[in-house]
A and B are shown apart, each in its own frame.
Chain A
Amino acid sequence: MNAPTFKSSPLDIERIRADFPILKLKVNDKPLVYLDNAASSQMPQQVIERIQRYQTTQHANIHRAVHYLSETATHEYEIARRTLQKFINAKEDREIIFTSGTTEAINLVMHGYGRKFIKAGDEIILTTLEHHSNIVPWQMLCEETGAKIRVVPINDAGELILEEYEALFNERTKFVGVVHISNALGTINPVKQMIAFAHARGVPVLVDGAQAAPHLKVDVQDLDCDFYAYSGHKLCGPTGIGMLYGKARHLEAMQPYKGGGDMILSVTFEKTTYNTIPFKFEAGTPPIMAAIALGAAIDYLNSIGMDRIAAHEQALLEYATAQINDMPGVRIIGTAKHKASVISFAIDGVHPHDIGSLLNQEGVAVRTGHHCAQPVMQRYRVPATSRASFAFYNTMAEVDALIAGIRTVQQVFA
């Protein structure tokens, strides 16, 4: 692929922005200011072209026929798997399972690991900061098995209270699920420390990396997590594709989640022998194009560099935070010491949906709502917030547009 390389720091934002056709859009006759990256990021031309190249010259079903196109598609699909492996520094490529996204990855662990190893009376530790996708599957498991969920509380800044986390452990604790970065508040959780504590008690840990993978360098061997999940569309890839990393010994011990083609070695009506990992968990024809496009998206991010992406986003966060803190009547919800480029905020006397509609009028796209994290909203006693979330292609001028938009909202409601 022809991803540009950026040698000098800071980022050449104008050159990066030129890679994203959608950023040239106008909304309500104003330049689009896209600040909803925590929900989904945009796709660069390099990934769009990769999709076109695949569909026009490489597509067939994978792992099946001996003809040229099938072998090409299989080859490209497995190259993408290795790109994903290196991106999070997994030890082996068979530890990477393509899923439809983070939600499916967590459901896979719930069905494959949870239903096999978690029994009545066992306890699963989750945190207040979890997205619904790391709550609901475990509730379904508890309903089925009689296991119980214990929840790690947060302080007023939106940070997990680690003493409370540690106090939740007992001989019944069988699993921990923790979000790496909170989608609603931006809090970066000390997952490495939490994993070490759990492992000292023999408890495996799943990390929901949906918000972390796009914004910081993830090293699953350094974290020593047992499972890690993220979605492709939050890191410049397409929707419908994501990944589950699992340590090989766990994946091998787990039961399949979906039955079908490609996940078997042999089938008779008496007995089916399952395929080896990762194929055991990839029943049916996968989204081949999306997987290859995700590989291209990661190549693109790597060409910029995750460390430089993180540094630029941190600068945007600090600039926006300082500006909003100076505005009377505006309050930031979630003030953790370690934060990613997410700002949830409230304006006195203005409903979040009204904020969202009026900012949209100015071309500024933010998310308003409960962010699929209702326990967080309940903790702060708000039904919803407005959330601006920045990506590496956002600029300081776009932060200014957000601030100007907030002033307009305040004027309308003055």
Chain B
Amino acid sequence: MADMKALYQEVIMDHNKKPRNFGKLSPATHHAEGHNPLCGDHISVSLNLEGDKVEAIAFEGEACAVCKSSASMMTVAVKGKTRLEAEALTQDFLAMATGKMDMNEPNNMGRLAVFAGVRDLPTRVKCAILPWHTLHAAFSSVTEVSTEAEADPMHAPMGSD
């Protein structure tokens, strides 16, 4: 079982309280909205591509600490990267969060590795991956995504009562 308290203490103290790149880019070349119907959370990601490079990126929205911190750290991680690099990082993050990455092997997650623990908490995986799904949607010029979409690897029906 992941030590959620440690995760919280590490990311909450930092990114939840002082989210980086928080806000909206205007104008933006790419933009998407992401929703998590399970908890009503939603975030938006806007970015400016200069050529193939993420020149600027920002996010905003109402979300839990896991989602907000993941979004904040995502913007830091992909800023300055090419679209291809950012998409590759997205795939790696999704693999890590859903438990498909062997964390004992070398990887390029860096500080993002604090989110590896959510793989043990299926209901929280969605919180961590929502920003990355939204980033992917923004690149693809899909304007809205949902963690309930078919593409969501952790798709599960909502609980009762």
Residues of B within 8 A of A412 (CB): 5, 8-9, 12
Instruction: Compute how far the CA of A170 lies from the CA of B21 in the bound complex, rounded to whole angstroms.
Output: 56
Choice from A133, A183, A351 contacting B64 with Cβ under 8 Å: A351
Within 8 A of B (CB), among A170-229: 183, 210
Choice from B3, B5, B161 contacting A131 with Cβ under 8 Å: B161
Choice from B8, B16, B40, B161 contacting A210 with Cβ under 8 Å: B161
Residues of A within 8 A of B8 (CB): 354, 357-358, 412
Instruction: Compute how far the CA of A105 lies from the CA of B160 in the bound complex, rounded to whole angstroms.
Output: 15
Beta-carbon contact of B65 and A372 below 8 Å: no
Within 8 A of B (CB), among A343-361: 350-354, 357-358, 360-361
Given the known A-B contacts A357-B121, A412-B5, are A38 and B161 also in contact in the complex, defined by CB atoms under 8 Å? yes
Per-residue CB contact flags for chain B residues 127-141 toward chain A (1 = under 8 Å, else 0) read 100000000000000
Instruction: Compute how far the CA of A370 lies from the CA of B159 in the bound complex, rounded to whole angstroms.
Output: 10
Per-residue CB contact flags for chain B residues 112-130 toward chain A (1 = under 8 Å, else 0) read 0000000001011001000
Choice from B3, B4, B5, B38 contacting A369 with Cβ under 8 Å: B38
Chain A residues in contact with chain B, CB under 8 A?
A: 28, 38-39, 103, 131, 133, 183, 210, 350-354, 357-358, 360-361, 367-373, 383-384, 408, 412-413
B39 on interface, CB distance cutoff 8 Å: yes
Instruction: Using A39-B160, A133-B161, A413-B16 as known contacts, list a sample of 13 further A-B pairs with CB atoms less than 8 Å apart, ordered by residue number in A.
Output: A131-B161, A351-B41, A351-B63, A353-B66, A354-B64, A358-B5, A369-B158, A370-B40, A383-B41, A383-B62, A384-B40, A412-B8, A413-B12
Residues of B within 8 A of A361 (CB): 3-5
Beta-carbon contact of B3 and A183 below 8 Å: no
Given the known A-B contacts A358-B8, A369-B38, are A353 and B160 also in contact in the complex, defined by CB atoms under 8 Å? no
Within 8 A of A (CB), among B40-88: 40-41, 62-66
Residues of B within 8 A of A353 (CB): 39, 64, 66, 123-124, 127
- Smallest distance from the beta carbon of A130 to chain B beta carbons, Å? 11
Chain B CB count within 10 A is highest, among A133, A352, A353, for A353
B151 on interface, CB distance cutoff 8 Å: no
- Smallest distance from the beta carbon of A353 to chain B beta carbons, Å? 5
Given the known A-B contacts A28-B1, A354-B8, are A369 and B159 also in contact in the complex, defined by CB atoms under 8 Å? yes
Residues of A within 8 A of B39 (CB): 351-353, 368-370, 383-384
Given the known A-B contacts A353-B124, A354-B64, are A39 and B12 also in contact in the complex, defined by CB atoms under 8 Å? no
- Smallest distance from the beta carbon of A132 to chain B beta carbons, Å? 8
The number of residues on chain B lying at the interface, defined by a beta carbon within 8 Å of a beta carbon of chain A, is 25
Beta-carbon contact of A357 and B4 below 8 Å: yes
Beta-carbon nearest neighbor of B65 in chain A? A354
Residues of A within 8 A of B160 (CB): 39, 103, 133, 372
Beta-carbon contact of B161 and A39 below 8 Å: yes
Residues of B within 8 A of A28 (CB): 1
Instruction: Compute how far the CA of A41 lies from the CA of B1 in the bound complex, rounded to whole angstroms.
Output: 24
- Smallest distance from the beta carbon of A357 to chain B beta carbons, Å? 5
Residues of A within 8 A of B4 (CB): 357-358, 360-361
What are 28 contact pairs spanning A and B, CB under 8 A? A39-B159, A131-B161, A133-B161, A210-B161, A350-B65, A351-B39, A351-B41, A351-B64, A351-B65, A352-B64, A353-B39, A353-B64, A353-B123, A354-B64, A354-B66, A357-B4, A357-B8, A357-B66, A361-B5, A371-B161, A372-B161, A383-B39, A383-B40, A383-B62, A384-B39, A384-B40, A412-B9, A412-B12
- Smallest distance from the beta carbon of A159 to chain B beta carbons, Å? 20
Instruction: Compute how far the CA of A38 lies from the CA of B161 in the bound complex, rounded to whole angstroms.
Output: 8
Beta-carbon nearest neighbor of A382 in chain B? B40
Instruction: Compute how far the CA of A350 lies from the CA of B17 in the bound complex, rounded to whole angstroms.
Output: 11
Residues of A within 8 A of B123 (CB): 353
Per-residue CB contact flags for chain B residues 29-45 toward chain A (1 = under 8 Å, else 0) read 00000000011110000
Instruction: Compute how far the CA of A412 lies from the CA of B8 in the bound complex, rounded to whole angstroms.
Output: 7
Instruction: For the complex of A and B, list the 5 residue pairs with the smallest distance between their C-beta atoms, beginning with the closest.
Output: A383-B40, A351-B64, A353-B64, A372-B161, A361-B4
Within 8 A of A (CB), among B146-161: 158-161
Instruction: Compute how far the CA of A28 lies from the CA of B3 in the bound complex, rounded to whole angstroms.
Output: 8
- Smallest distance from the beta carbon of B4 to chain A beta carbons, Å? 5
Instruction: Compute how far the CA of A358 lies from the CA of B8 in the bound complex, rounded to whole angstroms.
Output: 8
Beta-carbon nearest neighbor of A131 in chain B? B161
Residues of B within 8 A of A350 (CB): 65
Beta-carbon nearest neighbor of B9 in chain A? A412
Instruction: Compute how far the CA of A368 lies from the CA of B36 in the bound complex, rounded to whole angstroms.
Output: 14
Chain A CB count within 10 A is highest, among B40, B123, B160, for B160
Residues of B within 8 A of A131 (CB): 161
Instruction: Compute how far the CA of A413 lies from the CA of B5 in the bound complex, rounded to whole angstroms.
Output: 11
Residues of B within 8 A of A370 (CB): 39-40
- Smallest distance from the beta carbon of A410 to chain B beta carbons, Å? 12
